[in-house]
Each structure stands twice: as C-alpha cells, then as structure tokens.
Chains A and B, each alone.
Chain A
Amino acid sequence: MQQLTIFMDIESSRSYIDELYSPNEEKIIEALVTLKNSVIGSNRQKSSVIEQGIVPRLLQLMTDDGLDPNIRLEATITIGSLAKGTPENVASLVDQGTTIVLVELLKVVPTGTRLAEACLCALRSIFQHPPAPISALPADMRLLTRLTQIAREGSPTARACVVRILSIWCSGPVEQEALCAAGACSAAAALLASNRYTAPPLARALPALDLLAAMCFENANVSQVALNTRYGDKTIPELLTTLVSRDKPLPVAMGAARCLTFIHRAGALTADDTRVVFGALPCLARLCTKDMPEDIRATAAETLAYLAEVDTSLQRLAAISNHLMSSLAEIVTCPSAAAKQGAFKCFASLGANDEDIRKRIIETHGLMVHVVSGMNNPEPSVRLAAVRCLHSLSRSVQQLRTTFQDHAVWRPLMQLLNDSPGTELLTVGSSTLCNLLLEFSPAKEPMLDQGAVEMLCNLTKRPEAALRLNGIWALMNMAFQAEQKVKQRILCCLGTEQMFRLLGDGDTRVIMKTLGLLRNLLSTRHHIDAIMAEYSSQVMQAVIVVLEGSYPAEVKEQALCILGNIGDGEKAKDLIMANEDVLRKLVDYLAHPEGKLQEAALFVAGNLVWRGEAGAAARQQRLADLGVLRALKLLRARHDAHHLHDRVKTALAQFNDFT
C-alpha cells in the first residue's frame, strides 16, 4: 500500500503531479489517487489544482480508451470532485471544455459501469451550478434515449444523476418535446412509484418531480402525455396524488403538488378535477401554514399563486382552505425575499376576480402596511410581487376609496415607476395606475402633482404595446370628467404629433383608447370650445383620418362619438358645419349597415340640428341640402333600426320648418 502522508498539499508536492504525465500506468494511477484524496473536501486544493493547469491532462486521461480503465475512472472522479468546488472552479472547468468531454464520454461508455456513473456525477455537479452549460448537451435523440434508459434501469446513483441533469437541462419547448419523445415521462413515473407503505426515497423522488414539472410547464402536449403515462397500474397524476398526502416528506409533497399544478395550468387537468381540487390545492394550503419551514412555505405560496391565477372557483376554494389568508399574512413577514414575494403573488391571484376575497385580503391584519413596505423592498422580485398584489386589489372600487387612500399607496407606486423600473414592473405598475386614476379614486389629485401625466405620456412612446396601452388607458381615465387645466396639461404634454402616431398604432386597443382619451377631453360644452379653439384642425384631422381609414367598426364608432361631442360645443359646431367632407360622411354612416355606426352618426346629427341654439336654422338648412334630412327619414322607415326610432323622431322634430 502506498504511503499516506499527513500533508497532501498541492504546492508542496509537485512531484506526484509530474507523475500524472509518466509513461508508467502504475505511477499515473498512484498519482491520481493521491490527487483525488487531496482535492475531495477542500476548495482550496481544488482551486490550486485548477490553477496549475492539470484539468486538460485529466480530461485527456478520461477519454483515452487505450488506458487502464481505473486510470480513466480515477481521473473522472477527480474532475467530479473539482466540480464540487467554488462557482469560479466550475466556470473554469466549463471553459476548458469539461462538459463537452463528459457528454461525449456518456455517448460511448457502456451504461452500468463505474466510469459511466462517475461521468454522470461530475456532469450533475456542473449542471447544479448556475448557469448550467445547457448547450453542451444537444437534443440528440440517441443520447437522450440512452439517458432515459439509464433513468429507468441504472444504479440508484446513476438514475438520480441523470434525472437531475435532465431536470435542469429542460428549459424550453424544444427540450420538453425531445425528452417526452425519448420516454422521460415513463422514466419519471418509475422513479415516483412507491410500495404500499413507504414513499420513494428523497434522493430518487425529488429529481424526478423536478424533471416532470420542468417538462409539463406551459406545455399542453407533454402534460397530456404525462396524464396517460402509467407505471404499474397508476397514471402519473395518480402517483402524484399519492405523494401529496400528509405522511410524505414535505419536499416530496411540495414537488408533487407543483407537478399537478403545472399539468393543470397546461390544460391537461381541468380546474374541477379531483386531483387538483383535493390533491394539489389542499396540500399547498397546508404547506403554507406556520409549522412549515420557510423555504417550503415560500415555494408553496408561489405555486398556489400559479395554480389559482386564473380560475375563480379555485380562488374561492383556496381562500377558505386551511386558514390560508392568515398563513399568507405570516409568510409576508418572513425575512426571506422568496417568502415575501410568494405570499404577495398568492394574494394577487386570490383577489384577481372576486370582490369578497379582496375584501377579506384587505381586512387581513396589517397587510396594506406590508404591501407598501414591500414596494420599497431592496429586492426587485419583492417589489414586483407587491405591485402585483396592489394591482389585484386595485380592481376593487371600495378599496380605492378607502384603504388605498388611508395608506397613500400611490406614493411608493409613483416612486417606483419614476425610478426607471424593468418592463415587467412597469407593465403591472401602470396597470395599477390605470385603476388608481379612475374618476372616483381620491388618489387622482396627488398623483397629478407627482408628475403622473408626464410619466404616462412617456409610456405611450414605449416600443412595448402593453406599455403604450396602459399609458394611454391611464391618460384616458385621468381625463374623464377632469378639470380643464388637467385636460390642457394632458394635451400639451402628449402633443398632437404623438396622438397621431398612436392613431396609427399597430394595436387596435391603443387606437381605441387614444380616441377614448379624445372623447373624454372633448366633453362638457365649455371644455369643448376651449380645446377646439386651440386644436381644432388637428382634432378634425384625427377624426377624418379614422373615418376614412380602414379601421374596424368599433374604432370608427369612437371617432363618430368624438364628432358628436364636438357637435355639442357652441362654437365647435361650426367646424363640422364648415367641413363638407365630414357632413357627407355623416350621411353615409346614417345609412351604414353596422347598427352601432348608425347610432353614433345619429348622435352627431342630433347635436347639430338641435333647435333652440344660435344659427340652428342655417345649420338645418345646410344639413337638409346635403341629404341628412333624407337620410334620417330613410332611417325612420327601416325596420332593422327600430330601436333608434325614438331618437330619429326627436332629431326629425327639430327640422319642423322643413317637414
């Protein structure tokens, strides 16, 4: 037996490193074992070995199939140990092509050998350091089939390694489909099977649950395959349902509930499926309770948020499960960012649709204080989640008037939005602003002072359609029944040029809201005249652009409504009367096959012909000359316009002198 020295310090023992290059295989293996024993357990030694440039030699020894198999094994084990060092160590290994060598080796070494196992261990260690070198493992069907075969039939260690590697590797639809085709679903099912009394061991079940979750995430096809994959007499959802029960270890129950959640959200299990309603949901609610470790509670809250994100019945059910509200309120106070953001997201999901739940959330003791302080959290993910929560709650009219006001939530929100936030935060934050700026919201005034108009105008210039929409939407809300100075400020800040640009937007919703803004700006007689005095040509041009362009009917309807508003102005009326093009269009729209356009055109005509106002007679004369009167009479005669008859009659009654 070799002499074991007490010191196995790399710097002081250059000699055995030289032996690695010896032609004598005996000496190489001795040196390798010494090297291995010195690096295992010590990051300092690992760094030292890497710095001395020994890695390439080790990779060479691993791949040389002319050498003693033990040399190749020990070299691979040593590389595997280096891969358990610091992040820098791992990065350096990856830079030197270790991953590629390991993958190539896996393609050729017979499965079931110790060398194959050592390879898998090393690869797993490398993959567990983010960022995992995912591209080094190609979606090659032969290799994947080989790997899934190991996952089914290999030694316990080999199976756990393969599945862990694949669970990290599976990061998108391409990988999901490739793994599914290579039979990874059935391999995962085999790893989840338990006998009657005991759960599968953690080391086996956890990677399999992670792999299954990664494969099913947002993938309808793979989730459907998982639904029908069996091991023994049980399908995957049935295996998972067994694992969510109380007697299973917490991480296993958590992982199983997460898989069921993903399969549901991918559309393979309905929201009323028993495995969702009695399997995943109660398990997640239980894992949120205060007896659980913080990391489990954090993941459970976040997963529950995803589970209940869209379905109202699941939201209602979750809200009454296992004191979830108070559990979540406690998670918010946990120190870790993961816990806080999980809880905020979960509150956001629960309150997404149901006013009663929102009310209960708000009534949860001290929650608003936490939401406000969450918006100031140094961790971006917590800030985002807190804003999401606020957004969900801001759908409640009552809360806008009461709790939101009490806590001045607009203040941290405006601060966040003015502080160059990321796109995601900006999207959710500006959606929240839209709600805070509704007319009945008392936050409107102070937000104006904080520069809300300027910020929103800038949003309308963003390349992301969602942000432009939120910007213009919020401006529209802000202009609704606003004071004239607010309207002037919006117009002045947005500028007519930008308004025209928005009317040409690729997103119809943006055009709709832009016209909606114009409509809100042009309301009440006094404001109409004041604004038209300054912007008449631009506004008229905007209306004509829309009426003449190829826009959908609902957009044109908005334009006609604007015209109707202008027609309500005292002086503004004349602008329409002076524009023969517009008047002829009016005649056309009164006879339009689309009901809502007819109705809108009637609204415009009604305002223009209104009697008791100065110059009414002259206007009526002109409208009669251009055929408006005839068009109205025709409209009265039409049976399909029955619901408009009253208003047509009123309009015609104005023309007394002509009939």
Chain B
Amino acid sequence: MSFETPTNNGNIRPERRYYDRSKSDDLHISRTDINMLIMNYLVTEGFKEAALKFQQEAGLQEPALCSSLDERIMIREAVQSGRIPEAISMVNALHPELLDNDRYLYFHLQQLQLLELIRAGRAEEALAFASATLAEAGANDRNALTELERSLALLAFPDPHSSPFADLLLPSHSQKIASELNAAILKMENQEYTNPKLCSLLRMILWSQSEFDKHGVKYPKMTDLANATIEQPK
C-alpha cells in the first residue's frame, strides 16, 4: 500500500494562508467555471430556452444539453398542467422500466390524476378511479395509503380549496412531484448528480457552517443565501 507523502518535510513550515476578503483576487475563480455551473443548473432543471440563450450570450463552446432535455421539459409541463396520462405515457416511452421500478413515484403521478378529478368536481369518477387503480398501491404501501386517504378526504369538503388538505391542490404540490420525476429520470440515465451542482455547493456551505457552529468557531457567516450576505463574527 502506498501513501501520498506531502511535499513539505519537517524543516519547512507549512505556509498558512488566510483568505483576506479585502484583497482582490487572491483566489481565482474562472468565469468559465461559473458559467458551467449556471449552465448545469439550467439544463438539470429543464430551462431549455434559457440554456440556449445563455450559451449564446456567454459564448460557451459545448451546448452541454443532455439527450433527454426536450422530453424532460415536455414531461414536466404535462405534469404541472395536470395532463397526467400523457406524462405517464411519455415517461414510459422514454424509460419503460422507470415507473415499474419506482412504484411510489407511479403512485404519486396517479394521485395527481385523482386530484385533477377532485379539482374538477368529478367526485364519482374520482372515487371510481381511486378504487380501480390507486387502491392497489395503497394496499402495498403504508405511506401511499396515508396519502391516498388525505387526497380522498378532500371530497368530504364542499370547497376542497379551503379544507385542511388544500395544500395538495396547490401548484407547489404538482411541482414537487414533477421535480421528483425529473430527478428519477436523470438517475435512470446514470447521471451522477441528479440535483444541480449549484445546490450541492450551497448545501456544502450550510453544512460547513453548521459544523463550525457545533464546535463554537467564530467565522464570517453567510446568513442569506439568495444575496450571499455575510456577517462578520461578533
């Protein structure tokens, strides 16, 4: 077994460097790197138009678009606009094994379809649909059963939108499922990172800060991610 030995040996003291914010470009971050991270975000999240525009304006060489981007955009649109059977059909055409392998995800798509029926006030159809298709998933999975019960509980209210379960009818719910599906497709395509790398970087900052906090270290803390506001230690 071999160990990498550090280049400095005993008599040379390792140089300790602190990052001084007032100094301008001590640590160089290349523009291309930043552009690539932004591109990665746009592509992973399926902002195709923006990605193409950005590629043009930033003068990026490679159109780093992965093969399924168009399909993923169409699937996302279908899910978010409530055209579930169409979305399922597209997923099955793209990755036939996906929804068979991830039954919980399939359940979530069917649940969205149920919610569409409820939203449209087609109660009888909703009940029939639930017993014909969703009951199977509910019988096999505790989590699914709970979620199914919550969805069906919407029927008990004259106005589902003002019920305690109204969150299910909000666009944020279908967006959440659409992202879940998007991530599953990317994973199926053997992509290492199913989340945008920018998210990973931000998560790493949060993790490092929480480690510092745990050990009571004083450091300039980023308190607002969106604006990258940094507060000096008191």
Question: In the complex, what residue of chain A is closest to B106 when comparing beta carbons?
Answer: A41
The answer to whether A201 touches B192 (Cβ under 8 A) is yes
| B79-105 interface bits toward A, Cβ cutoff 8 Å, 1 = contact, 0 = none | 000000110110010001101110100
Q: How far is the CA of A121 from the CA of B97 in the complex (A)?
A: 8
B182 contacts the other chain (CB 8 A):
no
A204 interfacial contact with B, CB 8 Å: yes
Choose from A43, A80, A81 the contact partner of B136 (Cβ within 8 Å): A43
Instruction: Verify if A118 is at the interface (C-beta below 8 Å from B).
Output: yes
With beta carbons under 8 angstroms apart, the residue of B92, B113, B133 that contacts A36 is B92
Give A84-127 as 1s and 0s: 1 = Cβ < 8 Å from B's Cβ atoms. 10000000000000000000000000000000001001000100
B30 at the interface (CB under 8 A from A): no
Q: A37-B88, A44-B136 are in contact. Are A7 and B129 (CB under 8 A)?
A: yes
Binary contact track B181-196/A, C-beta < 8 Å → 1, others 0: 0000000011010000
Contact bitstring A38-70, B, C-beta under 8 A = 1, else 0: 001111100000000000000000000000000
B200 to chain A, nearest CB (A): 13
Residues of B within 8 A of A44 (CB): 136
Residues of B within 8 A of A84 (CB): 97, 100-101
Asked if B213 is an interface residue, CB under 8 A from chain A, the answer is no
Q: Is the CB of A80 within 8 A of B96?
A: yes
Q: How far is the CA of A84 from the CA of B110 in the complex (A)?
A: 19
Pairwise interchain contact A81-B100, C-beta atoms closer than 8 A: yes
Main secondary structure of the interface of B (DSSP, over half): helix
Q: Tell me how far the C-beta of B159 lies from the nearest C-beta in chain A, rounded to whole angstroms.
A: 24
Docked pose: A279 CA to B86 CA in angstroms: 51
Q: Is A15 an interface residue (CB 8 A)?
A: no
Tell me the minimal C-beta distance from A200 to chain B in angstroms.
10
Interface membership of chain B positions 55-96, coded 1 if the CB is closer than 8 angstroms to chain A and 0 otherwise: 000000000000000000000000000000110110010001
Select the residue from A5, A42, A198 with max chain B CB neighbours within 10 A: A42
Given the known interface contacts A37-B88, A81-B100, A121-B97, the answer about A6 and B125 at a Cβ–Cβ threshold of 8 Å is yes
Contact across chains for A41 and B103 when beta carbons are under 8 A apart? yes
With A9-B132, A274-B1 given, is the CB distance from A40 to B92 under 8 Å? Answer: yes
Say whether A6 contacts B192, CB under 8 Å: no
Q: Looking at chain A's contact residues, is the secondary structure mostly helix, strand, loop, or mixed?
A: helix
Q: How many residues of B contact A (CB 8 A)?
A: 24
Which residues of chain A come closer than 8 Å to B129, judged between CB atoms? 6-7
Asked if residues A204 and B132 are in contact (CB atoms below 8 Å), the reply is no
Q: Say whether A77 faces chain B, with CB atoms less than 8 Å apart.
A: yes
**Given known A-B contacts A7-B129, A41-B106, A278-B1, A81 and B96 have beta carbons under 8 A apart:** yes
A573-630 contacts to B (CB < 8 Å): none
B89 touches which of A4, A6, A80, A125 (Cβ 8 Å): A4
Q: Does A33 contact B (CB under 8 A)?
A: yes
Among B85, B89, B96, B125, which residue has the most Cβ atoms of chain A within 10 A? B96
Q: From B89, B100, B106, B190, give the contact of A204 (CB < 8 A).
A: B190
Q: Are A118 and B100 in contact (CB under 8 A)?
A: no
Neighbouring B residues of A292 by C-beta, 8 Å: none
Chain B residues near A279 (CB-CB < 8 A): 1
Q: Mask for A1-15, Cβ within 8 A of B = 1, else 0?
A: 000111111000000
Q: Which residue of chain B is the closest to A156 with respect to CB atoms?
A: B190
Over the window 149-187 of chain A, the binary record of Cβ atoms lying under 8 Å from chain B Cβ atoms (1 yes, 0 no) is 000000011000000000000000000000000000000
Give which listed residue, B86, B101, B132, B190, contacts A7 with CB less than 8 A. B132
Please determine whether B190 and A42 come into contact, CB atoms closer than 8 angstroms: no
Contact of A41 among B1, B86, B100, B192 (CB under 8 A): B100
Cβ contact within 8 Å between B125 and A40: no
Cα distance A125–B100 in the bound complex, in angstroms: 11
B79 to chain A, nearest CB (A): 14
Residue A641 at the B interface, CB < 8 A?
no
A4 touches B85 (CB 8 A): yes
- What residues of B have a CB within 8 angstroms of the CB of A157 in the complex? 190
Q: Does A203 make an interface contact (CB < 8 A)?
A: yes
> How far is A84 from B103 in the complex, measured between Cα atoms in Å?
11
Q: Which A-chain residue is minimally distant from B1 (CB atoms)?
A: A278
A40 in contact with B96 (CB, 8 Å):
yes
Chain A residues with CB below 8 A from B110, complex form = 41
Closest 8 CB pairs of A and B: A41-B106, A4-B85, A84-B100, A41-B99, A77-B96, A278-B1, A156-B190, A44-B136
Chain B interface residues (CB < 8 Å from chain A): 1, 85-86, 88-89, 92, 96-97, 99-101, 103, 106, 110, 113, 117, 125, 129, 132-133, 136, 189-190, 192
Residues of A near any B CB (own CB < 8 A): 4-9, 33, 36-37, 40-44, 77, 80-81, 84, 118, 121, 125, 156-157, 198, 201, 203-204, 274, 278-279
Known: A4-B86, A6-B113, A40-B99. 15 other contacts (CB 8 A): A7-B129, A36-B96, A37-B89, A41-B103, A41-B110, A42-B133, A80-B97, A84-B97, A84-B101, A121-B96, A121-B97, A156-B189, A157-B190, A203-B190, A274-B1
30 contacts between A and B (CB under 8 A): A4-B85, A4-B86, A5-B85, A6-B85, A7-B132, A7-B133, A9-B133, A36-B92, A36-B96, A37-B85, A40-B96, A40-B100, A40-B106, A41-B100, A41-B103, A42-B136, A44-B136, A77-B96, A80-B96, A81-B96, A81-B97, A81-B100, A84-B97, A84-B100, A118-B96, A198-B192, A201-B190, A203-B190, A204-B190, A279-B1
